[in-house]
Structure 1
């Protein structure tokens, strides 16, 4: 894609480095694109104009909504609350199964959008009666400056922020952003680098680094793993993933196995069989992960939270609705075992 149009809303891109002539390297994500003058990056949100890199994903969300926080999914972070959610166009992945491809694979210049500057996002969230904001739907890394400024203002106003991401972000931008993040759900696509490249256009190691950094920075973290038939539903790979998570201190991190449905460029594949999802959950629990869920398939009733000690149900969910909450001051109401999460 070639353009010098910065659109109505734009901002100087963070983490840029001048290279040869008027070419600029972007250091926000591990693609580390070298962008020539008049060109855009893989994400379609970085434009090189006269040797300077700009973000054209700033103040122009293409999607905003009020969602249940369980939809993100976040099951151990303010359960039952509503969250103001937004996205701009663009993404640094090319997932063959993307469910939001109409916006993720577009440029911000190609879509209708709202005019909503960072301070307006915060005001809009408050007006809707929520103190939670999620950067979601596409990939918030590609509208990094918008996320950063909005999250900073949100924290100044006492709101909390959530980062729903593929985790493909360089370490310094993530470290700089993390003081203004309260929670994240990272989509760990699989545990095989070749499949990452083929299915998503990314790489595994940077995502693992993101998980470690968020944990170290004490951002509440949950992980999603979508089981795509013939790509990411291999039990051996799931075992290796779960072992890595436990070995690296993520046994208390909720893990959501999600059902695939045919979409975008994978319309020829069937939905994930129920059996595959149940097996994945069993593998994760056997490995030592304490909170494991199955999403996108209500019939299996695997979205409830159970105390890892007494095994009693402490959070009952139907779809995105909390039916019963037996967590008291962060502990199981029955046996007083602390339950990992952010409850108030």
Structure 2
């Protein structure tokens, strides 16, 4: 058992967790909404520390991260549990699993870093389920990883508190955050959470110097109103900057949301085009084959900087962090 960080003790052996924005008060013998942080006798434990459900070597583009170490591999780890209850979750078999029924194996932070280096990866990504609730483990592994020259990435729903995010900041380089909708009603009904803490965490991450990319899964009839998406794009431009890569991904039916079809590719393209009109420099289309919005294009002269097909990429006219054609500075991280 590994004692948790980010909590305070209360009366009658209760504790209050300050890791995510639910800020659960947890009675003795109970666990938080995430299912993996448990109170035993007034001490909060991180019960999945060092327990892994999924391990892979992925292209960084699969996260998706297009402007952080493009063209490299990322050693990717996930565990179980989540602080959201998204009805459309594509990884529900681990995000909603419990330890009694999950297939888990032990992996120390040191061994994780060793495996990342041995597999030729440029970074470690904590992904597949919500990394926020794996806080102690990712903090330990990430600290070692950074000392070895590796990049570090969170693929997150963004429900982390400011104090927890600040604790991670010395080791966390990239913050790939879901902006699931620009509606608190959506977050409450579909995810069991709220919108504002997600927006606030993204602003904090930006202020801490992390590289940020956002992903919005566009669900037909649920969060696909163009007016709402325009408001989200404007918020990102004003609060995170026009150079923030925004990924708009096509939905496919999964988990508890099988009552609607996939998102038309034409709608994703329309959203990306509108994002450019609003001043976003790098809108991207996800889950759409052969889209012009897969590629990174110079926003100044239109030169092809990075060409992508699926999760593969090819550098074309990108010279470190500027366009070879016109010299425009590109918001991109090429080295860990």
Q: What TM bracket, shorter-length normalisation?
A: over 0.9
Q: Work out which of the residue numbers 321, 326, 329 in structure 2 matches 1:330.
A: 321
What SS does structure 2 have at the residue aligned with 1:298?
coil
SS of 2:220's equivalent in the other structure is coil
Task: Look up the SS of the partner of 2:23 in the other structure.
Answer: coil
Structure 1 unpaired stretches of 5+: 1-9
Q: Secondary structure at the match of 2:52?
A: coil
* Aligned twin of 2:253: 262
Q: Structure 1 residue runs of 4+, over 6 Å off?
A: none
1:178 aligns with 2:169: yes
Which residue number corresponds to residue 37 of structure 1? 28
Q: 1:206, 1:165 → 2: CA distance?
A: 13
Give the 5 Å matches for 1:173-322: 173-322=164-313
Q: Indicate if the aligned counterparts of 2:126 and 2:138 stay in contact, CA closer than 8 A.
A: yes
Counterpart-to-counterpart distance in 1, 2:8 and 2:98 = 22
Aligned-residue CA RMSD in angstroms?
Answer: 1.1
Instruction: Determine the C-alpha separation between the residues in 2 that align with 1:148 and 1:95.
Output: 26
Distance 1:46 1:160 in 2: 27
In 2, are the aligned partners of 1:104 and 1:138 still within 8 Å (CA)? yes
* Pairwise CA distance, 1:78: 1.2
In 1, distance between residues paired with 2:98 and 2:34?
8
Mapping 1:100-115, distance limit 5 Å: 100-115=91-106
1:48 aligns with 2:39: yes
CA contact (8 A) 1:121 1:150 kept: yes
SS at 2:51's partner residue? coil
- Measure the CA separation in 2 of the matches of 1:329 and 1:98: 36
CA contact (8 A) 2:249 2:268 kept: yes
In 2: Cα distance, 1:340 partner to 1:33 partner: 37
Q: Return the TM-score normalized by structure 1.
A: 0.95
Cα distance between partner residues in 1 of 2:292 and 2:245: 16
TM-score, length of structure 2 as denominator length: 0.97
Q: For 2:116, which of 125, 130, 140 is the aligned residue?
A: 125
Partner of 2:66: 75
* 1:21 counterpart SS class: helix
**Residue 80 (structure 1) shift:** 1.0
Partners of 1:241 and 1:153 in 2: CA distance: 36
| Residue 332 (structure 2) aligns with | 341
Q: Deviations over 1:14-33 (max 9, x none)?
A: 11112230111111001111
What is the CA distance between 1:249 and its match in structure 2? 4.0
SS in 2 for 1:123: helix
CA deviation after TM superposition for structure 1 residue 77, in Å: 1.1
Aligned 8 A contact 1:257 1:292 in 2: yes
Q: How far is the alpha carbon of 1:109 from its aligned partner? A: 4.1
Tell me, in whole angstroms, the C-alpha distance in 2 between the residues paired with 1:33 and 1:113. Answer: 25
- Given the alignment of the two structures, is residue 157 of structure 1 paired with residue 148 of structure 2, yes or no? yes
Give 3-state SS (helix, strand or coil) of 1:206's partner. Answer: helix
SS, match of residue 342 in structure 1: coil
* Structure 1 counterpart SS, 2:307: strand
User: How big is the shift at 1:329?
Assistant: 2.2
Contact residue 225 and residue 256 of structure 1 kept, 8 A: yes
**242-251 or 212-221, which deviates more:** 242-251
Of 219-228 and 279-288, deviating more is 279-288
CA contact (8 A) 2:87 2:256 kept: yes
Aligned length: 335
